Structure 1
Protein backbone atom coordinates (compact mmCIF):
# COMPACT_ATOMS: atom_id res chain seq x y z
CA UNK A 1 0.00 0.00 0.00
CA UNK A 2 2.87 2.38 0.84
CA UNK A 3 4.44 1.76 -2.61
CA UNK A 4 1.10 2.43 -4.33
CA UNK A 5 0.64 5.68 -2.37
CA UNK A 6 4.18 6.80 -3.26
CA UNK A 7 3.63 5.94 -6.93
CA UNK A 8 0.31 7.79 -7.02
CA UNK A 9 1.85 10.79 -5.26
CA UNK A 10 4.71 10.88 -7.78
CA UNK A 11 2.26 10.55 -10.68
CA UNK A 12 0.15 13.44 -9.36
CA UNK A 13 3.28 15.58 -8.85
CA UNK A 14 4.49 14.87 -12.39
CA UNK A 15 1.04 15.56 -13.86
CA UNK A 16 0.80 18.84 -11.91
CA UNK A 17 4.22 19.94 -13.11
CA UNK A 18 3.26 19.06 -16.70
CA UNK A 19 -0.05 20.93 -16.39
CA UNK A 20 1.70 24.14 -15.31
CA UNK A 21 4.00 24.00 -18.33
CA UNK A 22 1.24 22.88 -20.69
CA UNK A 23 -0.39 26.29 -20.15
CA UNK A 24 2.73 28.14 -21.34
CA UNK A 25 2.24 29.84 -24.69
CA UNK A 26 5.31 30.40 -26.86
CA UNK A 27 5.07 33.86 -28.39
CA UNK A 28 7.05 36.18 -30.65
CA UNK A 29 7.57 39.90 -30.13
CA UNK A 30 4.89 40.85 -32.67
CA UNK A 31 2.38 39.02 -30.45
CA UNK A 32 2.87 41.76 -27.83
CA UNK A 33 1.63 44.38 -30.29
CA UNK A 34 -2.14 45.05 -30.56
CA UNK A 35 -3.69 44.31 -33.99
CA UNK A 36 -4.29 48.01 -34.74
CA UNK A 37 -0.61 48.83 -34.27
CA UNK A 38 0.42 45.81 -36.33
CA UNK A 39 -1.71 47.21 -39.19
CA UNK A 40 -0.07 50.66 -38.82
CA UNK A 41 3.39 49.08 -39.00
CA UNK A 42 2.46 47.01 -42.08
CA UNK A 43 1.01 50.08 -43.84
CA UNK A 44 4.07 52.16 -43.00
CA UNK A 45 6.52 49.56 -44.31
CA UNK A 46 4.74 48.69 -47.58
CA UNK A 47 6.04 51.78 -49.42
CA UNK A 48 9.51 50.93 -48.12
CA UNK A 49 9.34 47.57 -49.81
CA UNK A 50 8.25 49.04 -53.14
CA UNK A 51 9.78 52.52 -53.25
CA UNK A 52 12.58 52.44 -50.67
CA UNK A 53 10.97 55.20 -48.64
CA UNK A 54 9.60 54.65 -45.17
CA UNK A 55 7.26 56.84 -43.20
CA UNK A 56 7.01 55.08 -39.82
CA UNK A 57 4.13 56.01 -37.47
CA UNK A 58 5.14 58.30 -34.61
CA UNK A 59 6.46 56.44 -31.60
CA UNK A 60 3.80 57.94 -29.33
CA UNK A 61 1.15 56.19 -31.47
CA UNK A 62 2.94 52.89 -30.90
CA UNK A 63 3.51 51.00 -27.69
CA UNK A 64 0.07 49.90 -26.51
CA UNK A 65 -0.07 46.60 -24.69
CA UNK A 66 -2.43 43.69 -25.21
CA UNK A 67 -4.41 43.65 -21.95
CA UNK A 68 -5.65 40.11 -22.65
CA UNK A 69 -2.08 38.84 -22.16
CA UNK A 70 -2.04 40.02 -18.52
CA UNK A 71 -1.51 37.01 -16.25
CA UNK A 72 -0.68 34.62 -19.12
CA UNK A 73 2.30 32.30 -18.81
CA UNK A 74 4.47 32.85 -21.88
CA UNK A 75 7.83 31.89 -23.35
CA UNK A 76 9.62 34.44 -25.53
CA UNK A 77 13.15 34.70 -26.99
CA UNK A 78 15.20 37.84 -26.46
CA UNK A 79 18.28 39.59 -25.18
CA UNK A 80 18.95 40.71 -21.60
CA UNK A 81 19.90 44.29 -20.79
CA UNK A 82 21.14 44.25 -17.14
CA UNK A 83 19.94 47.07 -14.88
CA UNK A 84 21.14 45.80 -11.48
CA UNK A 85 24.08 43.49 -10.93
CA UNK A 86 27.55 43.18 -12.40
CA UNK A 87 29.34 41.34 -15.23
CA UNK A 88 28.57 38.02 -13.56
CA UNK A 89 24.91 38.24 -12.52
CA UNK A 90 21.79 40.40 -12.82
CA UNK A 91 18.63 40.47 -10.74
CA UNK A 92 16.92 43.37 -12.50
CA UNK A 93 16.94 43.56 -16.29
CA UNK A 94 15.09 44.31 -19.50
CA UNK A 95 14.31 41.68 -22.12
CA UNK A 96 14.45 43.16 -25.61
CA UNK A 97 13.87 41.72 -29.10
CA UNK A 98 17.29 42.41 -30.61
CA UNK A 99 20.90 42.73 -29.48
CA UNK A 100 21.90 46.25 -28.46
CA UNK A 101 18.37 47.61 -28.05
CA UNK A 102 18.27 50.42 -25.46
CA UNK A 103 22.05 50.75 -25.33
CA UNK A 104 23.38 52.55 -28.41
CA UNK A 105 20.08 53.41 -30.09
CA UNK A 106 16.75 54.82 -28.99
CA UNK A 107 14.73 52.15 -27.19
CA UNK A 108 12.04 50.16 -28.98
CA UNK A 109 8.37 50.98 -28.27
CA UNK A 110 7.24 50.15 -24.74
CA UNK A 111 5.36 47.06 -25.94
CA UNK A 112 8.66 45.65 -27.19
CA UNK A 113 10.44 45.75 -23.81
CA UNK A 114 9.78 43.47 -20.84
CA UNK A 115 10.94 44.51 -17.36
CA UNK A 116 12.08 41.79 -14.93
CA UNK A 117 12.99 42.19 -11.26
CA UNK A 118 13.72 38.65 -10.14
CA UNK A 119 14.85 37.10 -6.89
CA UNK A 120 16.71 34.60 -9.11
CA UNK A 121 20.11 35.73 -10.33
CA UNK A 122 20.69 35.56 -14.06
CA UNK A 123 24.19 34.21 -14.60
CA UNK A 124 26.64 35.60 -17.13
CA UNK A 125 25.58 32.74 -19.42
CA UNK A 126 22.35 34.58 -20.15
CA UNK A 127 23.63 38.13 -20.22
CA UNK A 128 25.11 38.24 -23.71
CA UNK A 129 23.39 35.41 -25.53
CA UNK A 130 19.88 34.96 -26.85
CA UNK A 131 17.71 33.37 -24.18
CA UNK A 132 14.19 32.06 -23.74
CA UNK A 133 12.42 33.77 -20.87
CA UNK A 134 9.41 31.95 -19.48
CA UNK A 135 7.14 33.48 -16.88
CA UNK A 136 3.90 35.21 -16.07
CA UNK A 137 3.42 38.30 -18.24
CA UNK A 138 1.96 41.42 -16.62
CA UNK A 139 0.70 44.48 -18.48
CA UNK A 140 2.22 47.02 -16.17
CA UNK A 141 4.22 50.14 -17.05
CA UNK A 142 7.69 50.51 -15.59
CA UNK A 143 10.07 53.43 -15.99
CA UNK A 144 13.81 52.77 -15.74
CA UNK A 145 16.88 54.90 -16.46
CA UNK A 146 17.31 53.00 -19.72
CA UNK A 147 13.75 52.80 -21.08
CA UNK A 148 10.05 52.72 -20.28
CA UNK A 149 8.32 49.37 -20.57
CA UNK A 150 4.74 48.24 -21.06
CA UNK A 151 5.19 44.70 -19.78
CA UNK A 152 6.70 42.99 -16.76
CA UNK A 153 7.43 39.31 -16.21
CA UNK A 154 7.35 37.47 -12.88
CA UNK A 155 8.02 33.87 -11.77
CA UNK A 156 10.65 33.53 -14.45
CA UNK A 157 12.75 30.71 -15.85
CA UNK A 158 15.65 31.37 -18.20
CA UNK A 159 17.01 28.90 -20.74
CA UNK A 160 19.44 29.16 -23.66
CA UNK A 161 17.80 29.90 -27.01
CA UNK A 162 17.69 26.84 -29.24
Structure 2
Protein backbone atom coordinates (compact mmCIF):
# COMPACT_ATOMS: atom_id res chain seq x y z
CA UNK A 1 0.00 0.00 0.00
CA UNK A 2 2.80 2.53 0.61
CA UNK A 3 3.65 2.51 -3.10
CA UNK A 4 0.04 3.42 -3.93
CA UNK A 5 0.25 6.45 -1.62
CA UNK A 6 3.54 7.53 -3.19
CA UNK A 7 2.11 7.12 -6.70
CA UNK A 8 -1.01 9.06 -5.70
CA UNK A 9 1.09 11.85 -4.18
CA UNK A 10 3.33 12.02 -7.29
CA UNK A 11 0.28 12.17 -9.57
CA UNK A 12 -1.27 14.88 -7.39
CA UNK A 13 1.90 17.00 -7.39
CA UNK A 14 2.30 16.57 -11.14
CA UNK A 15 -1.31 17.58 -11.64
CA UNK A 16 -0.83 20.67 -9.50
CA UNK A 17 2.24 21.64 -11.48
CA UNK A 18 0.31 21.41 -14.74
CA UNK A 19 -2.60 23.37 -13.31
CA UNK A 20 -0.28 26.17 -12.15
CA UNK A 21 1.70 26.34 -15.40
CA UNK A 22 1.43 29.62 -17.28
CA UNK A 23 -0.74 29.53 -20.40
CA UNK A 24 1.12 29.38 -23.68
CA UNK A 25 2.04 32.87 -24.89
CA UNK A 26 0.62 33.75 -28.28
CA UNK A 27 3.11 34.37 -31.07
CA UNK A 28 2.31 37.45 -33.15
CA UNK A 29 1.75 36.61 -36.81
CA UNK A 30 1.77 39.32 -39.47
CA UNK A 31 -0.16 39.24 -42.74
CA UNK A 32 3.09 38.91 -44.69
CA UNK A 33 3.69 35.58 -42.87
CA UNK A 34 0.59 34.13 -44.54
CA UNK A 35 1.71 34.67 -48.13
CA UNK A 36 4.82 33.53 -50.04
CA UNK A 37 7.75 35.95 -49.70
CA UNK A 38 7.68 36.68 -53.45
CA UNK A 39 4.05 37.80 -53.33
CA UNK A 40 3.81 41.59 -52.92
CA UNK A 41 1.62 43.28 -50.33
CA UNK A 42 0.21 45.66 -52.95
CA UNK A 43 0.22 45.87 -56.73
CA UNK A 44 0.79 49.63 -56.72
CA UNK A 45 1.02 52.35 -54.11
CA UNK A 46 -2.70 53.10 -54.29
CA UNK A 47 -4.16 49.66 -55.08
CA UNK A 48 -4.10 46.57 -52.83
CA UNK A 49 -3.18 43.14 -54.06
CA UNK A 50 -6.14 41.22 -55.43
CA UNK A 51 -6.49 37.54 -56.19
CA UNK A 52 -7.32 38.00 -59.87
CA UNK A 53 -3.93 39.61 -60.60
CA UNK A 54 -1.78 36.85 -59.07
CA UNK A 55 -0.57 33.87 -61.15
CA UNK A 56 -1.88 31.34 -58.61
CA UNK A 57 -4.79 33.61 -57.57
CA UNK A 58 -3.26 33.77 -54.10
CA UNK A 59 -3.96 30.14 -53.24
CA UNK A 60 -0.35 29.42 -52.21
CA UNK A 61 -0.32 29.35 -48.41
CA UNK A 62 2.85 30.06 -46.44
CA UNK A 63 1.75 29.43 -42.83
CA UNK A 64 1.56 25.88 -41.54
CA UNK A 65 2.07 25.84 -37.78
CA UNK A 66 -1.39 24.78 -36.63
CA UNK A 67 -0.06 23.56 -33.26
CA UNK A 68 1.04 27.06 -32.14
CA UNK A 69 -1.13 29.65 -30.41
CA UNK A 70 -0.91 32.82 -32.45
CA UNK A 71 -2.35 36.32 -32.57
CA UNK A 72 -3.31 38.01 -35.83
CA UNK A 73 -4.65 41.55 -36.04
CA UNK A 74 -6.95 42.72 -38.78
CA UNK A 75 -10.40 43.92 -39.73
CA UNK A 76 -13.51 41.84 -39.01
CA UNK A 77 -16.16 41.49 -41.70
CA UNK A 78 -19.26 39.59 -40.41
CA UNK A 79 -20.36 36.42 -42.23
CA UNK A 80 -22.84 34.95 -39.72
CA UNK A 81 -24.54 37.40 -37.39
CA UNK A 82 -27.70 38.11 -35.48
CA UNK A 83 -27.93 41.86 -34.93
CA UNK A 84 -24.67 42.94 -33.31
CA UNK A 85 -23.77 39.38 -32.26
CA UNK A 86 -21.32 37.76 -34.67
CA UNK A 87 -20.75 34.00 -34.78
CA UNK A 88 -18.39 33.89 -37.76
CA UNK A 89 -16.40 36.57 -39.59
CA UNK A 90 -13.68 37.07 -42.17
CA UNK A 91 -10.48 38.63 -40.89
CA UNK A 92 -8.91 40.79 -43.61
CA UNK A 93 -5.78 42.98 -43.75
CA UNK A 94 -7.43 46.28 -44.78
CA UNK A 95 -10.77 48.04 -44.55
CA UNK A 96 -13.02 47.71 -47.56
CA UNK A 97 -11.61 44.32 -48.53
CA UNK A 98 -14.24 41.93 -49.98
CA UNK A 99 -17.17 44.34 -49.99
CA UNK A 100 -16.04 47.71 -51.33
CA UNK A 101 -13.23 46.59 -53.64
CA UNK A 102 -11.94 43.41 -55.32
CA UNK A 103 -11.31 40.46 -53.05
CA UNK A 104 -7.81 39.91 -51.62
CA UNK A 105 -6.19 36.54 -52.31
CA UNK A 106 -7.25 33.60 -50.11
CA UNK A 107 -3.87 33.65 -48.35
CA UNK A 108 -4.83 37.10 -47.02
CA UNK A 109 -8.29 36.12 -45.71
CA UNK A 110 -8.94 34.16 -42.50
CA UNK A 111 -12.29 32.61 -41.59
CA UNK A 112 -12.91 32.97 -37.84
CA UNK A 113 -15.52 30.75 -36.18
CA UNK A 114 -16.24 31.63 -32.57
CA UNK A 115 -17.24 29.36 -29.66
CA UNK A 116 -19.47 32.15 -28.31
CA UNK A 117 -20.82 35.22 -30.10
CA UNK A 118 -18.76 38.39 -30.29
CA UNK A 119 -20.49 41.77 -30.02
CA UNK A 120 -19.41 43.79 -33.04
CA UNK A 121 -20.17 47.48 -33.24
CA UNK A 122 -19.39 47.93 -36.95
CA UNK A 123 -18.12 46.14 -40.03
CA UNK A 124 -14.34 46.29 -40.39
CA UNK A 125 -13.88 46.63 -36.66
CA UNK A 126 -10.20 46.34 -35.72
CA UNK A 127 -9.63 43.16 -33.74
CA UNK A 128 -6.93 40.81 -32.51
CA UNK A 129 -7.74 37.11 -32.89
CA UNK A 130 -5.87 34.61 -30.71
CA UNK A 131 -5.96 30.85 -31.19
CA UNK A 132 -4.68 28.15 -33.49
CA UNK A 133 -4.42 29.23 -37.12
CA UNK A 134 -4.54 26.47 -39.68
CA UNK A 135 -4.49 26.30 -43.49
CA UNK A 136 -8.05 25.65 -44.64
CA UNK A 137 -9.37 26.68 -48.05
CA UNK A 138 -13.00 27.51 -47.35
CA UNK A 139 -15.73 29.38 -49.23
CA UNK A 140 -18.14 31.68 -47.40
CA UNK A 141 -21.16 33.62 -48.59
CA UNK A 142 -20.92 37.28 -47.74
CA UNK A 143 -24.08 39.38 -47.81
CA UNK A 144 -23.25 42.92 -48.88
CA UNK A 145 -25.42 45.86 -49.90
CA UNK A 146 -25.41 45.03 -53.60
CA UNK A 147 -25.96 41.28 -53.25
CA UNK A 148 -24.27 38.06 -52.23
CA UNK A 149 -20.67 37.23 -53.04
CA UNK A 150 -18.63 34.09 -52.37
CA UNK A 151 -15.28 34.69 -50.69
CA UNK A 152 -12.53 32.07 -50.47
CA UNK A 153 -10.36 32.15 -47.37
CA UNK A 154 -7.06 30.33 -47.10
CA UNK A 155 -6.85 30.01 -43.32
CA UNK A 156 -9.18 29.40 -40.39
CA UNK A 157 -9.30 30.08 -36.68
CA UNK A 158 -11.75 27.99 -34.70
CA UNK A 159 -12.46 28.36 -31.03
CA UNK A 160 -10.53 31.63 -31.08
CA UNK A 161 -10.67 34.58 -28.72
CA UNK A 162 -11.33 38.07 -30.08
CA UNK A 163 -10.36 41.42 -28.56
CA UNK A 164 -10.94 44.96 -29.80
CA UNK A 165 -7.78 46.90 -30.68
CA UNK A 166 -7.01 50.43 -31.86
CA UNK A 167 -4.89 49.75 -34.94
CA UNK A 168 -3.55 47.01 -37.19
CA UNK A 169 0.21 46.79 -37.90
CA UNK A 170 1.40 46.60 -41.52
CA UNK A 171 -2.05 47.49 -42.81
CA UNK A 172 -2.36 48.56 -46.42
CA UNK A 173 -3.34 52.23 -46.41
CA UNK A 174 -5.50 52.87 -49.42
CA UNK A 175 -5.77 56.29 -50.94
CA UNK A 176 -9.31 57.37 -51.59
CA UNK A 177 -10.05 58.35 -55.18
CA UNK A 178 -11.40 61.90 -55.19
CA UNK A 179 -13.18 62.89 -58.41
CA UNK A 180 -13.11 66.53 -57.24
CA UNK A 181 -9.33 66.84 -56.76
CA UNK A 182 -9.07 69.19 -59.75
CA UNK A 183 -10.91 71.82 -57.63
CA UNK A 184 -7.99 72.04 -55.19
CA UNK A 185 -5.74 73.70 -57.79
Flag whether TM exceeds 0.5 (same fold): yes
Higher helix share: 1
Change beyond 3 A, Cα 1:32–1:83: same
Residue 151 of structure 1: aligned partner: 155
Q: How many residues align?
A: 141
Please name the residue that 1:120 is paired with: 116
Alpha-carbon deviation of 1:145?
2.2
Aligned partners of 1:129 and 1:31: how far apart in 2?
22
Gap regions ≥5 residues in structure 1:
none
Q: If you compute each CA radius of gyration, which structure gives the higher value, 1 or 2?
A: 2
Helix, strand or coil at the partner of 2:33 = helix
Contact 1:126 / 1:160 at 8 angstroms: preserved in 2?
A: no
- Does 2:65 align with 1:59? no
Question: Structure 2 length as normaliser, TM-score?
Answer: 0.64
Shift of residue 12, structure 1, vs aligned partner: 4.1
For structure 2, list consecutive stretches of 5 or more residues without a partner in the other structure: 1-11, 143-150, 167-185
What's 1:132 paired with?
A: 128
Runs of 4+ in 1 over 6 A off after TM superposition: none
Partner of 1:35: 37
Structure 2 counterpart of 1:74, from 35, 56, 70: 70
- TM-score, normalised by the number of residues in structure 1: 0.72
Greater share of residues in strand: 2
Cα distance in 2 for residues equivalent to 1:119 and 1:19: 19
Change (3 A) 1:79 1:12: same
